[in-house]
Amino acid sequence: MARKTKENAEITRQRIITAAREVFAKRGVSRTTMEHIASHAEVTRGAIYWHFKNKIELFHAMRDQAILPLIDHIDAVALDEKSEDPLSTIEQFFTNTILTLMQDPATNQTYEIMMTKCEYVDEFAAVLQQIVTNCDYFTEKIRLLYEHAKQKDQLNAALDPAALAMDSHLFFSGLLHMWVKDTGRLGFREQALGLIKQHIALRRAC
Amino acid sequence: MARKTKENAEITRQRIITAAREVFAKRGVSRTTMEHIASHAEVTRGAIYWHFKNKIELFHAMRDQAILPLIDHIDAVALDEKSEDPLSTIEQFFTNTILTLMQDPATNQTYEIMMTKCEYVDEFAAVLQQIVTNCDYFTEKIRLLYEHAKQKDQLNAALDPAALAMDSHLFFSGLLHMWVKDTGRLGFREQALGLIKQHIALRRAC
DNA sequence: TATTATATACAAACATGATTGTATGTAAAA
DNA sequence: TTTTACATACAATCATGTTTGTATATAATA
């Protein structure tokens, strides 16, 4: 086949990533072969091996497209340190993340793959450690916001910001897992935003 | 090879399940071949195919050994409906589950496999639905306990038992996930019991 | 109680298909 | 003219399910 321009090559690359995501979601990462991805993207394996070294590099490319914006998002939230209402800032962050999953099927699908269609062994074991590291980073940001809330007396006095941040992180982690897993019935997804609201309300000074 | 007695056959069966668990944990369910399991169990594939139809049946046998006792546990807890202190009952349940994971490496390993080393597609997709169903069952039991706590005025008055139960379930789900994922550093596991304590404390009437 | 028949608990071999990485070819872009 | 962006062909391994073989436990029978 004829050579493509740089722009066309980039389009091909993106088509491959999209195809990989869709096939991963359907068959799981391990059971997905390069040929599956290739035919779904309407290219040959040669094209994939040109753009990516192997399956895990392709996986990382897919993951980055979903994760990096989220990291940016939490960084932006953390910048909002001077917020008048830190508890609402936390609530907003949770809510926005859920809204992203609702509105962006690609991101949602990538989360689904990472949580229920990937085995974290061998080359993928490192990914799990990155996830844990991200969790720590995330929890620390939340902790800072709880600190500010406490200084502003918006927090129930007896509560410890570090422990609260952990509790919130675990809540949110659980929420994302249920969000992803509960695809059949629509019940859970509808309550998600309400659960976030109540979770934060529980912390406000009473 | 010679035929074994029923007792010996049962021992072989259990050896296979144990071997499967250990190999699943090391290589992930998809990448594990019957031959891997066979050699680890010091039998041939013939023995495995005699006892189990295929890999997923073996997976289910392994899963049942970890899950069924837990179901029994929560059923026992739910029987404790007349408890004087329902919030402590919930706390006890969470704590006991974590203690089980600490003390029983086999159970812990099975959880690890189910949460990070299994792809829920094809034959395994149904397992995910079972997990969700179990979650619902679990959440309902917790909800009942919160109801009782509310009737006894042990609960912060403004709180809704159903939403609280969901929040607790998400917290606990997140806790188990972090417990399993955070194998490297020992930091998280040490705080787990403290986090449970605080989570429940947050709900007590103030 | 001794004998026989049958089901059991595996081991070993077989047939088949799938998947990976690489190596090579090629036409157009730069 | 030299890369680039792929397609195609190749080699080698690996995994699965099934089939066949067999020694023995166990139950039935005489």
**CB within 8 Å: B121 and A195:** no
Query: Do residue B12 and residue B67 come from a single domain?
Result: no
Q: How far is CA B156 from the centre of its chain?
A: 30
Strand C-proximal protein residues, Cβ less than 7 Å? A 1-6, 31, 33-35, 45-46, 49, 54-55; B 1, 3-4, 6, 8-9, 12-13, 38, 43-47, 49-51
Q: How far is CA A180 from the centre of its chain?
A: 11
Residue B77 is which amino acid?
A: V
Query: Do residue A188 and residue A136 come from a single domain?
Result: yes
Q: Which of A68-77, A194-203, B181-190 has the lowest mean pLDDT?
A: B181-190
Query: Do residue A82 and residue A179 come from a single domain?
Result: yes
Query: Do residue B85 and residue B178 come from a single domain?
Result: yes
Residue nearest to nucleotide D6 (CA to C1'): A47
Query: Do residue A13 and residue A64 come from a single domain?
Result: no
Query: Do residue B41 and residue B132 come from a single domain?
Result: no
Residue A84 lies inside a defined structural domain of this protein: yes
Is the Cβ–Cβ distance between A89 and A145 less than 8 Å?
yes
pLDDT digits (tens, 9 = 90+) for A132-176: 999 999 999 999 999 999 999 998 878 899 999 999 999 999 999
Structure tokens that stand for A194 in this block: 């309400």
Nearest CA among B55, B150, B98, B119 for reference residue A28: B119
Residue A147 lies inside a defined structural domain of this protein: yes
| B37 CA from D25 C1′ (Å) | 26
pLDDT digits (tens, 9 = 90+) for B30-75: 999 999 999 999 999 999 999 999 999 999 999 999 999 999 999 9
Nucleotide lying nearest to B55, CA to C1' measure: D16
User: Domain count of chain B?
Assistant: 2
**CA-to-CA distance for A60 and A51, rounded, in angstroms?**
13
Query: Do residue B10 and residue B58 come from a single domain?
Result: no
**CB within 8 Å: B184 and A132:** yes
Query: Do residue A31 and residue A62 come from a single domain?
Result: no
Q: How far is CA B87 from the centre of its chain?
A: 21
Q: Which residue has the tokens 């009737």?
A: B151
Query: Do residue A61 and residue A32 come from a single domain?
Result: no
Q: Find the domain containing A69 and state its range.
A: 54-201
**CA-to-CA distance for B112 and B119, rounded, in angstroms?**
13
Is the Cβ–Cβ distance between B189 and A189 less than 8 Å?
no
Residue B206 lies inside a defined structural domain of this protein: no
Nearest to A174 among B132, B171, B202 (CB): B171
**CA-to-CA distance for A102 and A186, rounded, in angstroms?**
12
**CA-to-CA distance for A61 and A204, rounded, in angstroms?**
40
Residue A150 lies inside a defined structural domain of this protein: yes
When the pLDDT of each residue in chain A is averaged and rounded to a whole number, the result is 93
**CA-to-CA distance for B182 and B3, rounded, in angstroms?**
45
Domain boundary, last residue among B28, B52, B76:
B52
Mean pLDDT value of segment B85-101: 96
Question: pLDDT confidence of A31, banded at 50, 70, 90?
Answer: very high
**CA-to-CA distance for A180 and A127, rounded, in angstroms?**
19
Q: Any idea what the CATH number is for the domain that residue B130 is in? A: 1.10.357.10
Q: Which helix (H) or strand (E) holds B174?
A: helix B161-181
**CA-to-CA distance for A42 and B187, rounded, in angstroms?**
47
Query: Do residue B47 and residue B64 come from a single domain?
Result: no
Mean pLDDT value of segment A79-87: 82
Query: Do residue A25 and residue A123 come from a single domain?
Result: no
Residue A206 lies inside a defined structural domain of this protein: no
Q: Which residue has the tokens 């103030």?
A: B206
Query: Do residue A33 and residue A13 come from a single domain?
Result: yes
**CA-to-CA distance for A200 and A5, rounded, in angstroms?**
51
